[in-house]
Amino acid sequence: MKAKIGISLAVIILGAGAAWVGAGMYAQKTFQAQVKEATDKLSANPVVAVKDLKQDSGFLSTTGQFTIVVNDPSTATSLVMAADYQASHFIQPDSLSKVTWKIKPAGEHAKDIANMFGDNARLEGVAKMGFDKKISSTIAMPTLATKEGAESFEFGPISGLISGGNNTLSADMTIGRILFKDEDAVVDVKKLNYQVDAKDLASGMYNGQLSVDEINTKEATVAGVAVKVGSTMQNDRVDLAISPSIKSLSYEGITVTDASMDFVYKDLDAKSIKTISAILNNSTITNLTAKEKQDLQTAARDLIYQGFTIGMPKLVATSKQGAIDGNFSVELAKSTTTNPADFNLIKLVHSSGQLAVKNLDPQYKGLALMSGMLSETPDGVKAGYELANGKLSFNGQTIDIDEELAAAQEVMSHILTQNLFD
């Protein structure tokens, strides 16, 4: 009886072990296929190309290397980097594969970079491939620093996490410090953080934020800098918002606090945005095929014909000299025709905006009123405008802008009829 139980247990253990090894072999095959697919897609990319992939298989393990070439079309120069990795495909509770990777400079510039920064010029991390085939990885780089006489440079350290797969991408990266200094100038940036979350890469929709704790120069101090970007899609329209803000800025005795603004692009044609995003993600303006030029031009024109709204719904800032509060919007209504000859910009455009300045110093208030551009309010000054049906009203007074509108119509006609990207 005991022997039968022992044999049964042995069979179960051997079966479980075989299944575990089999799953690891599947993970190994899946990992190698994903690496090849990713590198193949980037092999001909004009900006960042991945080449010369080599993969070697071991027992539930993979080692590999490839070359990354970063091209700068404006200067016709390239930065070459070598990547190598070691992957373990022993199944873990939270992952199919675990990968240790490193990227270092290579090519003709590698020696010069090593002379400046030593072994610190490297990116490295530990990645995991989950059961849903999504990949996440830590990213780290030591501080790069060099000094020669009065000139000094410091960058890093870098730390963060990036994950993606199944048409998604998210990242959270932090750079501890960026410092440029010479005899004439200094720029010292402390704790730069970048976050991005894209739920659907194919659509180009994402949310992101860039923030900086502090920026110091010889003339200015800036604290609490942030730029938020967000895009959403509803039906066939896309909205995009860009919101920069500064907690405080001091420059030559003037201090501005709580400055922020919102830029919005609303009701953009989703099909046009997808086309433009797809082309520009795979090419640069200077490296387009004839078909890409035609598709990009068609998308840009459709964007105009479908109409949209751009504006700044919020502009606020405070200082000892006063506080401002403003907004503006420009709406291009959807055109009823796609014939350039019948496209009437004057009838389709409507714009309005206002700017109020409160608690303004009496001296500055007097100067502002003398300009004739502002009107007085109980607590400051203000200005406002509206453009509708070809008529511009500024602070309640009509201004003749027929010549300017005619010039704008001519520019729009050129955009709708000429080859923009040749």
- Which residues of the chain have a pLDDT value below 70? 1-27, 74-76, 371-372
Cβ atoms 144, 154 nearer than 8 A:
yes
pLDDT computed for residue 196 by the predictor: 94
Q: How far apart are CA 364 and CA 323, in angstroms?
A: 12
Give the other-Cβ count within 10 Å of 298's Cβ. Answer: 12
- Residue 16: the pLDDT is 40
- pLDDT value of position 10: 43
pLDDT in tens, 22-53: 555 666 787 788 888 888 888 887 788 889 99
Start-to-end CA span in the chain (Å): 86
Give me the residues paired with residue 90 across strands.
none
pLDDT at 165: 81
Q: How many CB atoms lie within 10 A of CB 311?
A: 18
What does the pLDDT look like over 100-133, one tens digit per residue? 999 999 988 888 888 888 889 899 999 988 877 7
Q: Which two tokens stand for residue 174?
A: 């932090």
Give the model's pLDDT for residue 325.
93
Q: What does the pLDDT read at residue 13? A: 40
Minimal CA–CA distance to 258: which of 243, 267, 249, 247? Answer: 247
| Dihedral pair phi/psi, residue 17, rounded to 5° | -65, -40
Q: Write the CA distances from 67 to 43, 162, 325, integer angstroms.
A: 10, 20, 52
Residue type, 211: S
- 142-157 per-position pLDDT tens digit: 999 998 888 999 999 9
Burial 167-197 (b: 16+ CB within 10 A, else e): eeebbbbbbebbeebeeeeeeebeebebbbe
d(CA 175, CA 197) in angstroms, rounded, equals 18
From the list 208, 250, 214, the residue with the least C-alpha distance to 227 is 208
| Domain range list for the chain | 24-142, 268-422
Residue by residue, DSSP assigns 176-233 as EEEEEE-SS-EEEEEEEEEEEEEEEGGGTEEEEEEEEEEEEESSEEEEEEEEEEEEEE
Provide the whole-model pTM: 0.79
In the prediction, which pLDDT does 26 show? 64
H or E stretch covering 124: strand 123-129
Residue position matching structure tokens 């299944």: 19
